[in-house]
Amino acid sequence: MKVARGALGLSQTEAASGSSVPVGTLRKYEQGPSLPGAEAIAGFIRLGINSNWLLTGEGPMLLADLNPAGNLEPERLRLSIETVEEGLRQTKRTMEPAKRAELVLAVYDLYADGVGAQARERILRLVKSAA
């Protein structure tokens, strides 16, 4: 847990407060004689710690490292989803969720070059042809 606190940049008091685990209990977890229960694990997850790493030591320590989508720009992602949904609506087509997600991410990449009206129209035409 010391590593997790260091990676999160929190003091022991901040980590205890943010996870709703008393400081004394947190110290016991750090020293090893005690293992966290479900409530403590839920608190550590709220702090951004990967529960799999916490329980097994495997995988990335931080939840943010599990999900590369955590690095997506929310506004560009929203626009990408709206564009795909609009293209599907205009063509009166449906798409299975996995394919739709792939298309949204492809559109997201296309919007990296610009979000102007011309770019949106070109991307929408592409979405319609892919749907």
Round to whole Å and give the CA distance between 121 and 115.
10
Q: Give the relative orientation of helices 12-19 and 23-31 as an angle to the nearest 10 degrees.
A: 110
Of 18-27, 85-94, 104-113, the least confident: 104-113
28-60 pLDDT, tens per residue?
888 877 778 888 888 888 888 888 788 788 888
Residue 113 DSSP label? G
Higher per-residue confidence, 114 vs 60: 60
Higher per-residue confidence, 82 vs 9: 82
Round to whole Å and give the CA distance between 83 and 90.
10
Of 15, 38, 43, 10, the closest CA to residue 27 belongs to: 15
Q: Which residues pair with 62 in a beta bridge?
A: 49
**How high is the pLDDT of residue 17?**
87
CA end-to-end span of the chain: 47
Round to whole Å and give the CA distance between 116 and 42.
42
Q: Which CATH code fits 2-66?
A: 1.10.260.40
